[in-house]
Each structure stands twice: as structure tokens, then as C-alpha cells.
């Protein structure tokens, strides 16, 4: 497995361009299964998760063509059975369930995999599909669903930790071809879900309330092909913004959408980081000293769970005590032990991490446990004295396109070392 070797202590300086949002591109690619006509998707990031999704679509019978950051999909004929060996590798693959059921009236999809960050049940997915008239059961590690015709209904998708993003996506994609009107209450409002709704609308779906907790979908008989551009990746944007602040440099992030980052920008400013918005660009720089802040992750438009680990790194550098509380996933502090290897002083108390900041970090070998933890360990390596080796960076390649090359262009001393 590949590793990153990082020699820390150099401020990041320059410009970086973010790519399309992985968490928007995956359900959008799944939604291409809803039509037999070609769909052209632009600004798709070059990530391992995207490649896996393309392979899943091909295994279902779709034709998939890559042209740089553009993917063309034509699902003229489909099979309703998803390949276990592909689907088990990532959580986002479950969003093929709704489109297959809507298009074929049957689907057999293996339970998904992905990062180990806590239990992420799909009960709300199944609840929503059953509300639309589907018969759904889990058998032998597969979700099996069938119906004679999906029928519009009222569906409530609120869960213990807030609305379900992929569950909303699955029910939304099923509802666009259902007979009648579907109302989804407590729908997820994340920009990636909103992007999916706009993509479906461009295919001819009738959806109102986009961006709100209540989605109203009037089913249509069929959808047509379309061309669409994926939104910028807000998590990649936030990661480079925090990297600039952590290293004490100045970085301009281009191709971003600052409107999707109000909670992150607010916390950075509270931490005495200067963030200047210039259209679709953000310039981030850190004047000393940093200030400690408390962070609680929440559904959108709150502070995103996918930025929690990166923000924790910034707080390890900040004199004082900060409390970081995770309200979305119960096992998303696996990076804490690895940060401790670098010298961070962090104590866990239930859903909160108590960070005693201001101590210098020193390089050491560390092991990535999930996608965002990987990014946090890279950020820690950029500021740690000496050399840090981040192992198992295949997690990182799932969500960050060419991170090592982008950081090199900003002046970081980082090298990818192939695994043996």
C-alpha cells in the first residue's frame, strides 16, 4: 500500500484549484441509471470511488466513457443485480438501489462498505422505499426489492443523528418515476443532495422544495438524457483552507463555492484565521496567535462531520483548550490515537474530544483509518517537526484527487512512496 512521506515545517503558499464534489458525483452517476439516454457529467473528480462506481454501472449493463473530468453514461439496457465485490468497497454504492427499483421494478444490491466510522444503517432507505410500495428484504447480505409500480407517498426520513443524505437520495431517485406525488419530510439539505435534485430536474424530473427539508416530487413516466456539471467539493476546499491556517501560510483556493462553507468559515474566523472571499475563490492566511474554539458537528448547514478531524489538527496547535463534539457518527475519533503519536494532547469523553493545544508536534509513522482521518494526518505531518509517514493512503485517494501534487505546488515537502 502506498504511503506519504512528509517533512513538515514549511508554510503553504500559492494557489490550488478544487475539483468536483465526490459526494455529489456518486449519486449523480447512480441517477444516470434512470434513463436509457446518454448523460454527460462534467467536473467529475479522478478518484478511486468514482472508478468503482463506473465499474458498478458497467457491471449493471451501462456503457461508461471517460474523457478527462467528463464521464458519459448510457444505461440502455440494465441488469438488476449489483456486483458484491464492487459494491462492498464503498458506502455510496447503495444509492443504485433507488434507480434500479424505479427503472426495473426490481433490484438486488449487496450491503455496502466504506470507511469504518461507526454504524451507518440503511433502515431509513428501506423505510422510504417501502413507503413507495416496494417489498424489501435483506437476505444473505443483499438487499432485495421489488414492486409492480412505485406509488407516491409521504415519507419521513429523520433519524437519530438527523436526516439521512444517501437515504434521501435513494428515495428521491425512486420517487421521480413513481406514480403520483411523493413528499419527503426531514429531507437532507446538504449541497450534494441539492445537486442531485438539480441533476434530476435537468433530466425532466418534477421536484419542488429543492434545498429545503421538504421535497415534493411529482412522478413522471420517463426521464431523458442531459449534460450537467458537478458542484465544487466543499470538503476539499475546507481541507486546504485549514492546511493554510495550520502551516501559517497564505493560500488562494480557486473553483470553490463559499456559500457551502459558512459554518467552516465562521469557525476559522473565530480561531483568528483570515478568510477573504473573492467570487468563487477564498484566500486563507493565519496571523498569530490562533484562538481555541469549540466545534460541534451537525447536519448541513452546521459544521460538517467530514471536516471534524482536520479542525482538530488546527486546535492541537492552538494554545488553550477546545472541545470538539461529534454528533453524526459515534466512531469518528479513530484519528485521535494517531495524532497522539505525533504529540497531540487529546482526551476522549463520550462524544467529545478535549484538545489541550499549543504543543509542538513531531513526526512519526502513523496509520490512516478512514478518508477524512487520512487528510487530518497529512495536515498534522505538514506542521510536525521532522518526518511523518502516513500509511494506508488508499483511504485518501477515495476523496482527494492528487493531494500530494497539489500540496507540492504549494511548497509542501511530500512524496508518495509506492507500497511493496
What is the per-residue pLDDT for 367? 94
d(CA 221, CA 125): 23
Is it the case that residue 229 has pLDDT exceeding 90? yes
Residue among 115, 147, 161, 189 flagged as catalytic:
115
What angle, 0 to 180 degrees and rounded to 10, lies between the N-to-C axes of helices 22-31 and 48-59? 10
d(CA 389, CA 415): 10
d(CA 28, CA 98): 12
Q: Average of pLDDT values for 154-158?
A: 96
What is the per-residue pLDDT for 287? 82
Residue by residue, DSSP assigns 168-234 as: HHHHHHHHTTSBSEEEEES----HHHHHHHHHHHHTT-EEESTTSSEEEEE--S----EEEEPPB-H
The percent of residues above 70 in pLDDT, for the chain, comes to 97
What is the per-residue pLDDT for 116? 46
Is it the case that residue 304 has pLDDT exceeding 80? yes
Query: E strands of 75-141, at which residues?
Result: 106-110, 135-139
Where do the structural domains in the chain lie, given as residue ranges?
Answer: 3-19+232-417, 22-229
| Same fold? 3-19+232-417, 22-229 | yes
DSSP 151: B
d(CA 380, CA 374): 10
Q: What is the CATH number of domain 22-229?
A: 3.65.10.10
Give 381-416 pLDDT, tens digit per residue: 999 999 999 999 999 999 999 999 999 999 999 999
Is it the case that residue 96 has pLDDT exceeding 50? yes
Would you call 95 a catalytic residue per the annotation?
no
d(CA 79, CA 74): 13
What is the per-residue pLDDT for 117? 43
List all residues 6 or more positions away from 116 whose beta carbon is below 8 Å from its beta carbon.
331, 334, 369, 370
Q: How do 70-74 and 63-67 pair as beta strands?
A: antiparallel
Residue 420 — very low, low, confident or very high, per pLDDT cuts 50/70/90? low
Q: Average of pLDDT values for 117-145?
A: 86
Q: What is the largest CA-CA distance in the chain?
A: 64
What angle, 0 to 180 degrees and rounded to 10, lies between the N-to-C axes of helices 371-383 and 308-316? 20
Lowest-pLDDT choice from 84-88, 301-305, 352-356, 414-418: 84-88
Q: Quickly tell me which residue has 496547535 as its cell.
A: 317
Give 158-204 pLDDT, tens digit per residue: 988 789 999 999 999 999 999 999 999 999 999 999 999 999 999 99
How far lies 120's CA from each of 123, 125, 299, in Å?
9, 11, 15
**CATH 3.50.50.60 matches 3-19+232-417:** no
Q: Average of pLDDT values for 350-361?
A: 96
Considering Cα of 110, then 115, then 116, then 122, what sign does the dihedral take? negative
Q: Average of pLDDT values for 281-300?
A: 95
Residue by residue, DSSP assigns 256-304 as: --GGG-HHHHHHHHHTT-EEEEETTEEEEE-PSPP----EEB-STTSB-
What is the per-residue pLDDT for 159? 86
Is it the case that residue 119 has pLDDT exceeding 60? no
The percent of residues above 90 in pLDDT, for the chain, comes to 86
Residue 121 — very low, low, confident or very high, per pLDDT cuts 50/70/90? confident
What is the per-residue pLDDT for 114? 46
Is it the case that residue 113 has pLDDT exceeding 50? yes
**Other Cβ atoms closer than 10 A to 411:** 16
Is it the case that residue 292 has pLDDT exceeding 50? yes
Beta partners for 355? 322, 346
Q: Which helix (H) or strand (E) holds 48?
A: helix 48-59
Is it the case that residue 68 has pLDDT exceeding 70? yes
Amino acid at each position: 500500500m502506498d504511503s506519504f512521506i512528509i517533512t513538515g515545517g514549511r508554510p503553504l503558499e500559492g494557489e490550488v484549484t478544487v475539483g468536483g464534489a465526490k459526494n455529489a458525483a456518486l449519486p449523480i452517476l447512480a441517477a444516470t441509471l434512470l434513463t436509457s439516454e446518454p448523460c454527460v457529467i462534467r467536473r467529475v473528480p479522478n478518484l478511486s470511488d468514482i472508478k468503482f462506481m463506473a465499474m458498478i454501472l458497467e457491471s449493471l449493463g451501462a456503457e461508461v466513457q471517460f474523457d478527462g473530468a467528463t464521464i458519459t453514461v448510457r444505461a440502455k439496457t440494465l441488469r438488476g443485480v449489483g456486483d458484491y465485490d464492487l459494491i462492498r468497497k464503498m458506502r455510496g454504492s447503495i444509492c443504485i438501489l433507488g434507480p434500479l427499483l424505479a427503472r426495473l421494478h426490481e433490484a438486488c444490491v449487496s450491503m455496502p462498505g466504506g470507511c469504518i466510522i461507526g454504524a451507518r444503517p440503511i433502515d431509513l432507505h428501506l423505510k422510504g422505499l417501502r413507503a413507495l410500495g416496494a417489498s424489501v428484504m435483506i437476505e444473505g447480505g443483499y438487499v432485495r426489492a421489488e414492486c409492480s409500480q412505485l406509488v407516491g407517498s409521504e415519507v419521513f426520513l429523520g433519524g437519530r443523528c438527523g436526516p439521512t443524505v444517501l437515504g434521501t437520495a435513494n428515495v428521491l431517485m425512486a420517487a421521480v418515476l413513481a406514480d403520483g406525488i411523493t413528499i419527503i419530510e426531514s429531507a437532507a439539505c446538504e449541497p450534494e443532495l441539492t445537486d442531485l435534485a438539480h441533476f434530476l430536474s435537468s433530466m425532466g424530473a418534477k421536484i419542488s422544495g429543492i434545498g429545503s427539508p421538504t421535497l415534493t416530487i411529482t412522478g413522471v413516466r420517463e426521464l431523458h438524457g442531459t449534460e450537467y456539471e458537478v458542484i465544487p467539493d466543499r470538503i476539499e476546499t475546507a481541507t486546504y483552507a485549514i492546511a493554510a491556517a495550520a502551516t501559517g501560510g497564505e493560500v488562494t483556493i480557486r473553483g470553490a463555492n463559499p456559500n457551502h462553507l459558512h459554518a467552516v468559515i465562521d469557525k476559522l474566523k473565530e480561531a483568528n484565521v483570515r478568510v477573504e472571499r473573492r467570487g468563487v475563490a477564498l484566500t486563507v492566511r493565519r496571523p498569530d496567535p490562533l484562538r481555541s474554539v469549540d466545534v460541534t458537528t451537525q447536519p448541513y448547514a452546521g459544521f460538517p462531520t467530514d471536516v471534524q478531524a482536520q479542525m482538530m489538527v488546527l486546535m492541537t496547535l492552538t494554545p488553550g483548550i477546545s472541545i470538539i463534539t461529534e454528533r453524526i457518527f459515534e466512531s469518528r475519533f479513530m484519528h485521535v490515537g494517531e495524532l497522539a503519536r505525533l504529540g497531540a494532547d487529546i482526551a476522549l469523553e463520550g462524544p467529545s474530544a478535549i484538545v489541550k493545544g499549543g504543543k509542538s508536534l513531531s513526526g512519526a509513522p502513523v496509520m490512516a483509518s478512514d478518508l477524512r482521518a487520512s487528510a487530518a494526518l497529512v495536515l498534522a505531518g505538514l506542521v510536525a517537526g521532522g518526518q511523518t509517514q502516513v500509511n494506508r493512503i488508499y483511504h485518501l485517494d477515495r476523496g482527494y484527487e492528487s493531494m500530494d501534487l497539489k500540496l507540492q505546488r504549494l511548497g509542501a515537502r511530500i512524496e508518495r512512496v509506492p507500497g511493496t
